Structure 1
Amino acid sequence: LLRHKEADHPQNPSTPYFSIPETYAHLILHDSDIDDPDRIFACGDFDLMQVLNSNTTIYGDGTFDKVPRMFYQLYTWHAKIGNSYPPCIYFLLQRKNLLTDSKMFEIMKRLMPNLSPQKVLLDFEKACINAVHIAFPDAQVKGCYFHLCQSLIRKVNSVGLKVEYESDIDV
């Protein structure tokens, strides 16, 4: 059964320098080009992007765990809809630096020309924070409380205070 399914799908690429099969081209909102050494892909849902485009607060989140090997980071941008924060646009990035993050915002602004958030909440990535200030100079940038807590727990663990922190109420 698995071989039969695999016969209908192209093989997974091993480098970021591959051509998008025509069958899947409609899913890609942006491809910086097969020859770009810092290739960036963007994909998303047009209806959700319109919600993101009209929101005054947008939420960014980068992850490194669930990324195809040839990319370094998956960055998602979310908008609040009721009580949920669905991802509206996804970026596959090869680097984590100011230039790459600035390109990501250029792409977002090209795809969503009216995007002008008043507030941007994101994890504590210095390059992305600086890129937000460049792309949206009037926006207030806030770090995400969840990511702050994750960072604090990692620090407590890395300096050997995990047991004391968990057992001593005064720590």
Structure 2
Amino acid sequence: MATTNNISSIDIHNLSFIKSNKNEPLLVLNNYVYKRNKTTAKRKYWVCVIRGCQVYVHTTLSNEYAGGGTDLHSHAPNPELVQVKKVRQKMKERALNEVTLIGMIYEEEIAKSSMTRSALAIFPTNSEIYQGVAKARRKAAPELPQSCFFTIPDIYKSTIDGKRFLLYDGSPIRRERILLFGNDDQLDLLFDSHTVFMDGTFSKAPHNFCQIYIIHAVNFDICLTCVYGLLMIKKSIVYKQIFVELKQIASQRGKSFSPASIITDFEPAVLPVLKS
């Protein structure tokens, strides 16, 4: 049954815009959704997204209401669908502009949304929405570097709460880059620990790097990861540089990095550094 929608019911202040799943603009007016049909030199023409419903809305090029939307729709408005689309768009925008886990974004946006029970009932689950959001995030992410000499975007230099994560980026040997990652809380655990574990893994190292070197601290009998290193070679000068940087950071934080025990596997390049 067609719904009544006369000109007196049009509220131009209730006009807004959202994005479709294909990132195309959609116009929302009085809980009806319109897709862009064509654009001329002075106007944009929008048609109802429901197939067979030929109700049009006109806007200026700056997206201000210019007319239309006063005819009868062949269907009822769907405010729940509009609410769902707006929350999904917010989740996608956050995923593209933050490094927050998608599951965390989902929970936070659901918690602070003002969706009705009907809208919540039709809202996709986290697992249903994850693939689409993750795909959009991957497309927006920088391309994988083809060499070890690349610029790290600022978003990857800090944690979700804005604290530093990139501790060191340097080359003690020409063309042999070292990257060290960790946050201040992890560093404090490391500097306060009397026992430190160190080890490297080679099979999971990213392209252009030889190994991922990991330093752990022991806190309340629990081994906690504190520093991640990306290394290109296995030489004493590289491991020595890691210790030099950690000692310098410890000094800056009013602490010292001098554990009583260091436990590591038999790595010939590491042993001379530990003895020095």
Structure 2 gap ranges (5+): 1-131, 159-164
Partner of 2:195: 57
Distance in 2 between residues matched to 1:88 and 1:47, nearest whole Å: 8
After TM superposition, where is structure 1 displaced by more than 3 Å over at least 4 residues in a row?
none
Q: Give a deviation string over 1:37-81, Cα, whole Å, max 9, x none.
A: 111000012112101101111110111111102100111111112
Instruction: Describe the SS at the equivalent of 1:52.
Output: helix
Q: Contact 2:194 / 2:218 at 8 angstroms: preserved in 1? A: no
Task: Provide the residue aligned with 2:150 in structure 1.
Answer: 18
TM-score when normalising by structure 1: 0.72
Structure 2 equivalent of residue 30 of structure 1: 168
The number of residues matched between the two structures is 133
Distance 2:187 2:174 in 1: 25
| Distance of 1:8 and 1:118 partners within structure 2 | 46
TM-score of the pair, normalised by structure 2? 0.46
Task: State, as a whole percentage, how many aligned pairs show the same letter.
Answer: 29
Secondary structure of 2:176's counterpart equals: coil
Structure number with greater Rg is: 2
- Per the TM alignment, residue 3 of structure 1 is displaced from its structure 2 partner at its CA by 4.5
Cα distance in 2 between the residues matched to 1:14 and 1:41: 16
1:42 aligns with 2:42: no
- Give, as a single letter, the amino acid of the residue that structure 1 aligns with 2:181: C
In structure 1, what is the Cα distance between the partners aligned to 2:232 and 2:200?
A: 12
Contact 1:97–1:127 at 8 Å: present in 2 too?
yes
User: For 1:1-171, what aligned pairs fall within 5 Å after superposition?
Assistant: 1=132, 3-26=135-158, 27-32=165-170, 36-113=174-251, 114-134=256-276
SS across alignment from 1:87: strand
For 2:157 and 2:215, the matched residues in 1 are separated by 21
Q: Which amino acid aligns with 2:190?
A: L
- Structure with greater contact order relative to length (CA < 8 Å, sep ≥ 6): 1
Gaps of 5+ in 1: 135-171
